[in-house]
Structure 1
Amino acid sequence: MKSLARILSAAGIVLGLALTGAPAGAQQPQIAKEPSPAAIASAKEILAMKHAGDMYAQAVPNIVQQAKDRILQSNLNYQKDLNEVAAIIAQKLAGKQQEIGEGMAKIYASVFTEQELKDLVTFYKTPLGQKLLATEPTAIQTSMAYMNQWAQGFAEVVNGEFRTEMKKRGKTI
């Protein structure tokens, strides 16, 4: 029952890591050919319309906090210093999250043609496109909540099936 919830949580963490920066050894996405400046500009416009920057706006402070918390686990006596250093590092690296937006734009520009991106920009400026931009986050969130609720109910059915089949074998679980 909680298994799918854990999977969904793990998927959320993976998405979060993808949006906030991967570990140093992680493989970077490969872009087949360098997209044109016009394609990148259209991709950036689409991402701005979708408020994609909101997803990674706190990437730098969050990663600094995570690093500080890891270091603090084995260096409790340095808490005051680590708090001060974290503020310095966060300020020093402020703005680096914009690299995520640049990378996302290049990815969009490599997945879609320049014309497709221009067509998407045009679409998002229509009343239907504006409605999609405004309502899609809620629709996705509601869909995820429904999927989680369904999974929990279905997990109970699966657990019941396990109990029934194991009982046929003379084993109670």
Structure 2
Amino acid sequence: MSIPVSFLRSAALAALLMAGVGSAFAQQPAAPAPTAPTGPSVEEIMKTPFLPSHLAVANDVLKASGMRTMFENSMPNVVGALRVNVTRQRPELAKVIEECLAIVEKESGNVMNEGVTSAARFLAVRMSEAELKDVNTFLNTPSGKKYVEILPLFMDQVMPFIEIWSEESGARLSKIFQDEMAKRGHKL
């Protein structure tokens, strides 16, 4: 049960909800393309000045929510991929490759911390330091810790339900729409 999977499941949940709404109106003309997310660009976020305390509490929220583990878990994958790919291409250099990868593994901690600090900026730009402190306080309560702990299991269970619900709801709303159009003399 890892939080990165939960994060992906959350994104999938949002996509399923949007797909369900879309299928409900499948007979309608296509809607205009969605607009870009509002708010500052990545470049603007990275240049925005923050108090160190603001970034520190945003980092604490990432850790308490389990989101920091996405960064922690990605580093072994990078090193492992390098190990497999380079050793496969140049097996005669296996010893030298391992020596170099030991240095890369040591540096991966710094790289991971840079990623977390950058991610903290995305929270800090959208929430005040006081709001982040409130979130962090909740996440560190027994209820907040339980929420973080059960979220992956919840997503595992709710995703199949949402998929079925989305299809059934789309069909139901589409039928209501077709019936209403028929009442007005328009058979679809």
TM-score norm. by structure 2 comes to 0.52
* RMSD of aligned alpha carbons: 3.5
Distance 2:143 2:105 in 1: 40
Match of 1:116 among 131, 151, 157: 131
Structure 2 counterparts to residues 22-37 of structure 1, below 5 A = 29-30=42-43, 31=45, 33-37=48-52
Match of 2:61 among 36, 46, 70: 46
Q: Unpaired segments of 5 or more residues in structure 2?
A: 1-7, 13-40, 165-188
Distance 1:84 1:148 in 2: 48
Question: Alpha carbons of 1:147 and 1:86: their partners in 2 closer, same or farther (altered >3 Å)?
Answer: farther
Moved more, 71-80 or 98-107: 71-80
Q: Does 1:129 align with 2:144?
A: yes
Q: Unpaired segments of 5 or more residues in structure 1?
A: 1-7, 13-27, 151-173
Distance 1:83 1:147 in 2: 46
1:72 counterpart residue number: 87
Aligned amino acid, residue 95 of structure 1: G
Distance 1:98 1:141 in 2: 29
TM-score norm. by structure 1 comes to 0.55
Distance 1:140 1:82 in 2: 40
How far did residue 108 of structure 1 move? 0.9
How far did residue 149 of structure 1 move? 8.0
Structure 2 counterparts to residues 142-157 of structure 1, below 5 A = 142-144=157-159, 146=160
